[in-house]
Amino acid sequence: MRLADECGLYEQMNEEQKAFLEIITNYNIEARYPEDKAALSRTLSPKVCRNLIDDTKLIQQWIKDKLSNIMKH
């Protein structure tokens, strides 16, 4: 979230995108610590993983589009 904020994208995100960014950031932080990995893995069903992947692809494309528009100007 810090990077999105620092480059000005965070303020352009809708509430759903901001919420997703917070969720995915929390997963990233939790995955760094071995003692949290077992608890984390219990929350990640195949359906949850598929949704995370799909939502990540959507926000990735949104970011690419935003950056592409910036580069054109």
Could you read off the pLDDT of 36-62 as tens digits, one per residue?
A: 777 778 888 999 999 999 999 999 999
pLDDT higher than threshold 90 for residue 70: no
What confidence category does residue 13 fall into, taking pLDDT thresholds of 50, 70 and 90? very high
CB 30 within 8 A of CB 69: no
Distance CA 61, CA 57 (A): 6
Percent of the chain scoring above 90 in pLDDT: 47
Note the pTM of the prediction, 2 decimals.
0.78
Cβ neighbours for 56, distance < 8 A, ≥ 6 positions apart: 24
